[in-house]
Amino acid sequence: MRVLAITNMYPSEKRPGWGSFVQSQVESLRKAGVDIDVLVINGYSSKLEYVKAIGRMRRMLRECRYDLIHAHYGLSGLVARFQFSVPVVVSFCGDDLYGHSDAKGRARLTSRPLAWIHRHLSYFVDASIVKSKAMNTLLPRPIAKVISNGVDMDMFRPLDKQACREELELDPERTYILFPYASNRPRKNFASLKEAVRRLHVNSPDRTIEILTIAGESQHRIPLYMNAADLLVLPSFWEGSPNAVKEAMACNMKIVASDTGDVRDRLDGVPGTAICGTDPESIAAAISAVLADNRDGSRREAVAELEIGKVADRVIEVYSSVLRRAKKDRGVLMIVENLPVPFDRRVWQEAKALTAAGWNVAIICPKRGKYTASRETIDEIEIYRHSLPEARSAIGYPFEYGIAFFWQLFLAARIYLTRGFRIIHACNPPDLIFLVAAPFKLLGVKFIFDHHDLCPELAVSKFGLGRKQAAIQRALRFLERATFRLADASIATNESYKSVAIRRGGMHPDRVHVVRSAPDLKLWQPAGLDPSLRAGGSHLVGYVGVMGPQEGLSNLLASIAYIVHKLGRRDIRFVLIGDGSELQALQSEAMTRRVDPWVEFTGRVSDHDLIRILSSCDICVNPDLATPFNDLSSMNKIVEYMALGKPIVQVDLAEGRFTAGEASVGAAPDDPIDFAEKIITLLADKEKMEQMGSAARERVADTLSWDRQVPQLLACYAQVASHKNETRRYTWSRQSKMPTELGPTNLLEDDHG
């Protein structure tokens, strides 16, 4: 691993103690096997040095291949971010986030804008390191790694006090307080310490107390001062994680320090230490108490976890994590518009599978439901969410899509600049995301189209047919064709969708990969029966899915009404799981049909509760309307039912029939009475239910489970990522256009399955 460290703090002949903690970390990383070079910015001499450092950095990057850059301090991080070819880690040190202090401990107005910039720099780097939890709270996204500076336990160790005093020519009888900085640094609050010592002189005139300050000393001499003094006092207005406190503890020194940074975490309960305020009275009281505290206790042991080698290992863990996630050649950007992630189970499974295979995955999706965080990292997958109003009518879709396009393009550009990606993976609906991918294609980014829904057929299901609808159909078919034409490869959810990609989209067959939506059988294990769900009934029938117009749920309620009122079967309970635009209307319809005592609408539930509820069902149902879209689409609910070993009653549609196989009974399309009769007949045949349940679980395990789909997904990525690929992307031509209207007959291939 080769690292370029960029820092504006590093020891030199003129300033031998300046940034010694950075030098210590660099040396400890070298001992741990990291090949590390250092670019020092002499920013204290001139701010122009930061501008010059950008050129120096870029020259070093041209001359040597670095795996990452580690910048120390916010200003150094800004320099490091003036390139996008190498990942950047920034260690924030304290003043860069807090600002510079005036004599009263307030951040100077002139330093606040720069502190704000430093805080927001954390958005644009691959990882941030802070010295304390308190510093982490200053960041707009408090997800930085908290790693305090390490302590060289060999250098900072207990020494003979009298010998150290002799070497420093100090009075052996005097009481010395060590203030380990120059006295002219306002943030360190020397004035209050000086006043506190004056008050101690007034109260105890027989005791001579002197303050030792340190300025311009090299680091190897600091242990002499720490072992020669009686205690260290650090009454700072603020700190990140003061090195002097930890180094003094390693020397087993008594300590008084103000409650800043991680001081309380370090000193809490440690004998011979005290937390003080920043006022003279509090400082004086704490000094008196600590000087009188003669309890035994090793302060050195309390800081052993910060041994510099152990801290180096933690820094290397950050490096390794960044390199795993941020290699540009393995970067993937997934874009989803209609559902948040990880709620969209298919997208989340794909993202996790790609991450496990070594891809660095980021996802753009909308904020919905409980998923409202603008950015978060889950299982090493970066998720970027944006606000998006949900269209409730045809006229609202252009508004929704326009806002989605803006955010997708904005976030994609930001992600490309900050972490890079090689592939855009777009998940429809709608068939508009190719517009986001198009400009990145010019930069060499590959484009994979994950074809979740047939948008032209979906529009027919939602809006019907007519003159206006015909115009919408033509537009949707144009967008679908344009998406396929831009794609380097496409992913189909079944063979019917693959046929659409080939015939209607013009994709070459070798460029279309079938990856079915499927449950992970490690998670989808049948749970025990929960009798309370039956509410006193003998049977429980389950449904899970979107509560929308094309799901046929009104027909299902008609079937339930027939079962309850016509057949007199009041021993069957129905549980309908899910949410959607029609939920309230369906609840009202259930009351109108007088079946609400037998029907429970749960709304959206967690995966845990979903598995628990479905496991308690005797059978599950799929009442989809007989539309071209439903006929050709593989519904997630079918495979989820099968994963739990549930027999199914469903409307007899092509893809549903193929997916379920022997695990389902088909009812006539749009016939609530036939659907009801099929439910009653199946519930009466326990032996058949058991056979169908076994067939369902077996088919999922052998063919349809998620672990069977992952190889196809990775094969698609391997094909797109390959530099040498002679397969044509398209077969479409004017002479080979497919028919305008498509049905199951001309869509289903002979090898369907």
Task: Find where tokens 């600590």 sit.
Answer: 290
Tell me the percentage of the chain whose pLDDT exceeds 90: 60
Tokens in use for 478? Answer: 């144009």
pLDDT at 269: 85
Q: In the prediction, which pLDDT does 143 show?
A: 85
Picking from 68, 9, 62, the residue whose alpha carbon sits closest to that of residue 34 is 68
Q: Which of 534, 539, 589, 598 lies closest to 564, judged by CA?
A: 598
pLDDT digits 0-9 by tens, 3-31: 999 999 998 888 887 888 899 999 999 99
> Tokens for 691?
């056979």
Residue 664 CA to residue 695 CA, distance in Å, equals 10
Residue 430: band (very low, low, confident or very high) from pLDDT cuts 50, 70, 90: confident
71-116 pLDDT, tens digit each:
999 999 999 999 877 889 999 988 888 887 776 767 778 888 999 9
Amino acid at 173: E
Which of 18, 57, 65, 58 is CA-nearest to residue 38? 57
List the alpha helices (DSSP H) in 32-155. 48-63, 74-80, 95-98, 112-121, 133-136
State pLDDT tens for residues 683-701: 999 999 999 999 999 999 9
339 alpha carbon, distance to own chain's centre: 16
Residue 752: the pLDDT is: 24
Tell me the one-letter amino acid at 445.
V
Tell me the CA end-to-end span of the chain in Å, nearest whole number: 47
The structure tokens 């439903």 sit at 630
Q: What is the pLDDT of residue 88?
A: 93
Whether 696 and 648 have beta carbons less than 8 Å apart is answered as: yes
Could you tell me which residues are beta bridge partners of residue 600?
A: 575
Distances (CA, A) of 721 to 421, 461, 483, 521, 665: 12, 37, 19, 29, 43
Q: Residue 589: what are its φ and ψ, rounded to 5°?
A: -65, -35
CB atoms within 10 A of CB 532: 8
| Tens-digit pLDDT profile for residues 272-286 | 999 999 999 999 999
Give exposure, 651-673, as e/b (b: 16+ Cβ within 10 Å).
Answer: bbbbbbbbbbbebbbbbebebbe
pLDDT, residue 475, reads 87
pLDDT tens digits, residue range 448-486? 999 998 888 877 766 667 777 778 788 889 999 999 999
Nearest to 640 by CA among 650, 631, 630, 632: 650
What is the reported pLDDT for 733? 44
- Type of residue at 664: S
How distant is the alpha carbon of residue 453 from its chain centre? 26
For the chain, list the domains and their CATH numbers: 2-146 (3.40.50.2000), 161-305 (3.40.50.2000), 327-515 (3.40.50.2000), 531-704 (3.40.50.2000)
Task: Flag whether pLDDT at 394 surpasses 70.
Answer: no
The rounded Cα 206 to chain-centroid distance in angstroms is 62
Q: What is the mean pLDDT of residues 215-225?
A: 86
Other C-beta atoms lying within 10 Å of the C-beta of residue 88: 27
Buried b / exposed e over 20-57, threshold 16 CB at 10 Å, is bbbbbbbebbeeeebebeebbbebeeeeebbeebbeeb
What pLDDT was estimated at residue 751? 29
In terms of pLDDT, which residue wins out, 141 or 48? 48
pLDDT in tens, 620-652: 999 999 988 888 888 889 999 999 999 999 999
Q: Is the pLDDT of residue 723 over 60?
A: no
Q: Is the pLDDT of residue 750 over 50?
A: no
Residue 297 has pLDDT above 80, yes or no: no
Phi and psi of 537, rounded to 5°? -80, 165
φ, ψ for residue 573 (rounded to 5)? Answer: -110, 150
Q: What is the mean pLDDT of residues 527-546?
A: 91
Predicted local distance difference test score (pLDDT) of residue 327: 62
Does the pLDDT of residue 556 top 90, yes or no?
yes
The pair of three-digit structure tokens given for residue 477, joined into one six-digit string: 């078919």
Q: How many CB atoms lie within 10 A of CB 726?
A: 5
CA 557 to chain CA mean position, Å: 40
DSSP-assigned letters across all residues of 9-21: ----SS-TTTTHH
Q: What is the DSSP string of 501-529?
A: HHHTT-B-GGGEEE------TTT--PPPP
- pLDDT higher at 296 or 653: 653
The values of phi and psi at residue 7, to 5°, are: -145, 145
CA-nearest of 2, 8, 126 to 64 is 2
The answer to whether residues 619 and 647 touch, using CB atoms and an 8 Å cutoff, is: yes
Distance CA 16, CA 27 (A): 16
Better-scored residue on pLDDT, 208 or 34: 34
Supply the pTM of this predicted model.
0.56
Q: Angle formed by the axes of helices 553-561 and 672-683, to 10°?
A: 60
Alpha-carbon span 9 to 137, nearest angstrom: 24
How high is the pLDDT of residue 732?
47
Share of the chain above pLDDT 70, in %: 93
pLDDT at 680 over 90: yes
Count helices and strands (H / E) in the chain. Answer: 30, 25
The pLDDT tens digits of the residues spanning 345-390 come to: 899 999 999 998 888 899 999 998 889 999 999 998 999 999 998 7
Residue 99 has a pLDDT of 84
Laid out side by side, the sheet with 273-276 consists of 209-213, 175-179, 231-234, 254-258, 273-276
Residue 51 reports pLDDT greater than 50: yes
Q: Which string of DSSP letters, residue by residue, matches 141-174?
A: S---EE-PPPB-TTTS----HHHHHHHHT--TTS
Distance between CA atoms of residues 744 and 462, nearest Å: 20
Give the whole-angstrom CA distance, residue 229 versus residue 179: 10
Average pLDDT of the chain is: 88
Cβ(365)–Cβ(456) under 8 Å?
no
Contact 340, 368 (CB under 8 A): yes
Cα–Cα distances in angstroms (integers) from residue 704 to residues 353, 658, 709, 721, in the given order: 16, 11, 7, 26
Quick check: 126 and 147 in contact, CB under 8 A?
A: no
